[in-house]
Amino acid sequence: MKQIAKLKYLHMAPRKVRLIADTLKGLPISEAEAQLLTRSQRVAGPLLKLLRSAIANAKNNAKLDSNKLFVESIRVDQGPMLKRILPRAQGRTTPIQKKMSHITVVLEEAAAPTTPRFTIAPPPKKEKKTKKSAVKKPALREKKEEITKKPEKAGFFKRLFRRKSV
């Protein structure tokens, strides 16, 4: 059974999205997810989010086994363009096309479950830091006051050679 997830109006050029999307075709979802996690391109984030959405749809809506799922197809179409201009010399302008993409991911269930080559560990949970008690702050202030209250004795040298005459 096929499961489809769509991402529309992604503010990235389709040509750039296709470079990464084409590498995912035919891969089991665990490998496709690992591929996207290791990519440094800007497209990898939205594609990973879309893939995880498609996996969640397959699990919850169609009750499919996630170990059997693979990426049957992934299609990147061009969305609308925002047309802008760039001012140039001597009163001229250059047109700029800010392109958008529509991405469609189709997941299908394989006949036999594939053993995942990768295990994707969730990021470790950070423990919330408890706020330090306010008792320590006044203690620091007292130490500062003690340090500043020490009277300074004017030495012989300073008494003899002053900047201004008295």
Give the tens place of pLDDT for each residue, 50-76. Answer: 999 999 999 999 899 888 999 999 999
> Which pTM was predicted?
0.69
Span of 74-78, 93-97, 135-139, 144-148 with lowest mean pLDDT: 135-139
CB 92 within 8 A of CB 111: no
> Structural domain boundaries of the chain?
3-109
Selected residue with higher pLDDT from 20 and 147: 20
Q: How confident is the model at residue 131 (pLDDT cuts 50, 70, 90)?
A: confident
Residue 140 pLDDT grade (very low, low, confident, very high; cuts 50, 70, 90):
low
Cα–Cα distance for residue pair 108/2, rounded to 1 Å? 5
Contacts of 87 (CB under 8 A, 6+ apart): 93
Q: 116 φ, ψ to 5°?
A: -70, 135
For residue range 82-119, what is the model confidence (pLDDT) as tens digits? 999 999 999 999 999 999 999 999 999 988 877 777 77
Answer yes or no: CATH 3.90.470.10 is held by domain 3-109.
yes
